Structure 1
Amino acid sequence: MSVATTDSSSGMESQLDYSSQYVSFWVDGQLLGMPVNMVQEVLTEQVISPTPLARAEIKGLLNLRGQIVTAVSLRKRLGLPALEDDRSMNVVTRVMGESYSLLVDEVGDVINVSGRSMEPVPRTLDPHWRSVTIGVFQLEEGLFVILDVETILNFD
């Protein structure tokens, strides 16, 4: 996906290539990401209403300007322990017609990986993580793991 924009200082039109941009976030010290065009918005800690009898990964529901959003603990979904203070940032996405908030430890920057090739998921990565990952980028800071958001949100 690319979008044409006009630079007001030069009057020149440029192309923004969103297919090579990822929203980054941290979970348990690991840099993870998802395509920027899948992110509806990023929110600070929100009030989440618990949902009785829900799966362990479902933290509850939050009200986002009148829209009910299912909050999913990415730590639980990845088989990681919960944080002691249980404070999370929210990465809101819309998948399969439903809105979800992925609860993450911290949100990073939008990372542009144009000119880099996505590498296959390493065999050394935990099998559970491999099943929810589409690939990795080797960055100077370390491994940038790209999540398969649809698989993460498929609870079957």
Structure 2
Amino acid sequence: MSTAEMDTDSSHGMESQLDYSNQYVSFRVDGQLLGVPVNMVQEVLTEQVISPTPLSRAEIKGLLNLRGQIVTAVSLRKRLGLPDLEDGNSMNVVTRMGEESFSLLVDEVGDVINVSGRSMEPVPRTLDPHWRSVTIGVFQLEEGLFVILDVETILNFE
């Protein structure tokens, strides 16, 4: 085997170890299992102090300070047309879009779910139209429907 072939073989081994395309960070909002690609998630945090931003859109809960970095907190409940949680306690799924960081406020965070070997199905027509507009597909899991969100669309407020 030539050096070039060995390099190719070893790089394929590395790629398969670092392939996150089948892994999603899962969380629940209003009891529904949702997810975003793991490579879009910077970190997951417990409830944080959020400074309100007057005159902002309803989906924008405010700003939080993450080790000196200002992060915009987005209520996924509001974005999906749901009422706020009664106790107000939300977990934070911090994502990056370009140079900015956003915290998606969710009810609870689950595990990283690996869906390799499963195929993503199109968004069902029966899903609420507002939800369909921010969803890229679904996976049928033993515990129910796993809805994959389109983070770019969720963070596009225009």
Structure 2 Cα separation of the partners of residues 8 and 84 of structure 1: 52
Cα deviation code 1:39-90 (max 9, x no counterpart): 0000000000000000000000000000000000000000001111110000
Structure 2 Cα separation of the partners of residues 102 and 117 of structure 1: 26
Q: 3-state SS of the aligned residue for 2:56?
A: coil
Structure 2 Cα separation of the partners of residues 95 and 12 of structure 1: 26
How far 1:97 moved relative to its partner? 2.0
Pairs aligned (count): 155
Structure 2 Cα separation of the partners of residues 153 and 2 of structure 1: 48
Q: 3-state SS of the aligned residue for 2:11?
A: coil
Moved more, 15-24 or 59-68: 15-24
Q: 3-state SS of the aligned residue for 2:53?
A: coil
The answer (yes or no) to whether the contact 1:2–1:17 under 8 Å persists in 2 is: no
The answer (yes or no) to whether the contact 1:32–1:147 under 8 Å persists in 2 is: yes
How far 1:2 moved relative to its partner? 24
The answer (yes or no) to whether the contact 1:2–1:18 under 8 Å persists in 2 is: no
Larger Cα Rg: Structure 1 or Structure 2?
2
RMSD, aligned CA:
4.7
Gaps of 5+ in 1: none
Structure 2 Cα separation of the partners of residues 118 and 2 of structure 1: 39
Q: 3-state SS of the aligned residue for 2:70?
A: strand
How far 1:17 moved relative to its partner? 2.4
Higher strand share: 1
The answer (yes or no) to whether the contact 1:3–1:17 under 8 Å persists in 2 is: no
Gaps of 5+ in 2: none
Structure 1 Cα separation of the partners of residues 142 and 83 of structure 2: 27
Structure 2 Cα separation of the partners of residues 111 and 66 of structure 1: 30
Q: TM-score, normalised by structure 1?
A: 0.91
How far 1:8 moved relative to its partner? 17
* Equivalent position to 1:66, from 65, 68, 86: 68
Q: TM-score, normalised by structure 2?
A: 0.90
Q: Does 1:146 align with 2:153?
A: no
Question: In structure 2, do the counterparts of structure 1 residues 51 and 115 end up closer, same or farther at CA, with 3 Å as the change threshold?
Answer: same
Structure 2 Cα separation of the partners of residues 51 and 137 of structure 1: 36
Paired-residue identity, %: 91
Cα deviation code 1:7-55 (max 9, x no counterpart): 9999999724210000000000000000000000000000000000000
